[in-house]
Amino acid sequence: MQEGVRAYRARDKKPDAAELAQREGDAARNKGDLKTSAEAYGRALEKTKAVDPQRPERLALYALVRWRSCVLRKPPGRACNLV
C-alpha distances in Å from residue 48, one per residue of 22, 60, 80:
10, 13, 26
| Residue 56 pLDDT | 94
Contacts with 19 (C-beta within 8 Å, 6 or more apart), sequence order: 44, 54
Residues across the chain:
83
Closest CA to 82 of 67, 71, 60: 67
Name the pTM for this structure. Answer: 0.73
Domain ranges of the chain: 13-73
Which letter does DSSP use for residue 41 in this model? H
> How far is residue 68's CA from residue 57's CA, in Å, rounded to a whole number?
16
- For 12-31, what is each residue's pLDDT tens digit? 778 889 999 999 999 999 99
Average pLDDT rounded to a whole number, residues 4-15: 72
